[in-house]
Structure formats: C-alpha cells, structure tokens
Amino acid sequence: MTETVRIDKWLWAGRFFKTRSLATAAVDSGKIRLNDEPVKPARHLHIGDRLHIDNSAGQWEVVILKLSEVRGSATVAQTLYAETPHSIAKHQKEAEQKKFYREPGTTLKGRPTKRDRRLLDKAHTE
C-alpha cells in the first residue's frame, strides 16, 4: 500500500466518478476541495485528509481512511473513506424531502407524445 496517491486516482478508485478523466475535470473545475482548499489533480492525498466532493449525484464530505490507485468493487471502495456526520445528516434530510415532493417531470418517460404535450400546455395556461 502506498503512503500517498494522486487525488484524481483516489476519486476514481473510490467510485465517486466513472472515469479518471471525469475526476480530473471535477478537480480542475473546483468541485473538489481538500481540507477546505481548492486543489489540482496531481495533488497527493494522505490518510486523515478531509475531502469535500461535489459531483452530479450529490455532495459528500469524507475523511480518507485508506489509499488506493486501483478501482475495485463498490464494497472495497466504501472502505477507503468515512462520511462525516454532517454529510450523513444532510443526505438524510434530502431523502426525507424527496419522500414528500416529487419533481413534476419524473413521471414522463422520454419525449412527450402529442397528447401529453397538449395536457402540459393546458396545465400551463390555467
């Protein structure tokens, strides 16, 4: 096991991003912060570092427990980090809100039909 690993490799191995290039792009665009500071993709992580990760699926705040440059299964990836209590509470609150409110477009599958379009237009004009 290595003592340091590049942040983009770790994000990919931890399954926060599908590809390493997506992880690199996220780091470059400022969506990843290491100990509350913006970083570059070549920055090395150490055990105990705190990462704030913002990707399309959500936001996480995690503490690094293990280092890995190799992408493994999801169960192995979950052993690489521990989510902070603040982050867990935030995810639970969001899940609670989703129970009571559904986005209007979630019931539509694909492109609306002509009939669906008329109903949508009718609902918007009322």
Record the tokens describing residue 59, joined without a space. Answer: 């936001």
Q: DSSP labels for 24-58?
A: HHHHHTT-EEETTEE--TTPEE-TT-EEEEEETTE
Give the list of residues 6+ apart from residue 60 with CB closer than 8 angstroms, or none.
16, 51, 52, 53, 83, 87
**Residue 1: what pLDDT?**
53
Residues 68, 10: contact at Cβ < 8 Å? Answer: yes
The conformation of residue 33, written as its DSSP 8-state character, comes to E
**Residue 81: what pLDDT?**
94
**Nearest alpha carbon to residue 72 among 120, 19, 12:** 12
For each of the chain's 126 residues, which pLDDT tens digit applies?
A: 568 899 999 999 999 999 999 999 999 999 999 998 999 988 999 999 999 999 877 889 999 999 998 998 999 999 999 999 999 999 898 888 877 777 666 666 778 889 988 988 888 887
**Residue 73: what pLDDT?**
92
Residues 51, 61: contact at Cβ < 8 Å? Answer: yes
Residues 23, 17: contact at Cβ < 8 Å? Answer: yes
Domains of the chain: 5-125 (3.10.290.10)
**Residue 123: what pLDDT?**
84
